[in-house]
Structure 1
Amino acid sequence: MASRSLSNNRHVYLCTYDVAGDKAGDKRRNRIFELLRDHGEHVQYSVFLCTLTRTEVANLGHQARDILNEKEDQLLVINVGPEVADWQNSLTCHGKTWSPQIRARIV
């Protein structure tokens, strides 16, 4: 049996979507927005920061594929790095100041 690390295996992902601008696309856009909002922090119009495990990323992808039209829509999921990394120091924000949402896990 393989040993598993007890360390934090969550990573921060930058998720952004582009959905066709027609009536059917409006419904898909609302559904993908709700899906991403359930998984992370809404930081800009179609941009979310999500802290997820590999399994959660895979599940997010499966759910998104069920929503999106693969010929017209797109969801980009970019691994920014481990949740514990100091990635915010490499972030530059121009204009309105951005600060991460403070989230507490309730067990």
Structure 2
Amino acid sequence: MAGVKIFVVSYDIMNPKRLQRVHKTMKGFGEPIHYSVFRCNLTPKGLVEMKAALVELIKHDQDRIMIIDLGPEDGMVMNRVEFIGVTPQESERGAIVV
């Protein structure tokens, strides 16, 4: 799909209830790599929607979310990502938020 980019989203949420809500929200946008790290395949619209959803959930003076743009889905993303130890399996789901 044209315009889809890969993003890594990581977060530190200080309150357990907010942490649960952020994790649940992120499951709608990507696949968990670790508990607080997600890989997301998003269109520009999907990225805006994800950011809008997260902005509403966090306390900006306590929590932190980091979004890393790895580039186009059809690019060389996996050549820039290295795992040591167990490598996450690619999802069969292939969900894309548009």
Q: Which has the higher contact order (CA 8 A, sep 6+)?
A: 2
- Runs (4 or more) in structure 1 with deviation over 3 Å come to none
Determine the structure 2 residue equivalent to 1:75.
Answer: 65
2:8 maps to 1:14: yes
Instruction: Please give the root-mean-square deviation of Cα atoms over the aligned residues, in Å.
Output: 1.4
Q: 1:86 aligns with which of 76, 81, 87?
A: 76
Cα deviation for residue 91 of structure 1 reads 1.6
Query: Any stretches of 5+ residues in structure 2 without a counterpart?
Result: none
Task: Give the TM-score, by structure 2 length.
Answer: 0.88
Give the whole-Å Cα distance in 1 for the aligned partners of 2:51 and 2:69. Answer: 13
Cα deviation for residue 97 of structure 1 reads 2.4
> Paired residues, what number?
95
Gap change, CA 1:104 and 1:66, over 3 Å in 2: closer
Query: Any stretches of 5+ residues in structure 1 without a counterpart?
Result: 1-6
Bigger-Rg structure (1/2)? 1
Task: Give the TM-score, by structure 1 length.
Answer: 0.81
Determine the structure 2 residue equivalent to 1:26.
Answer: 16
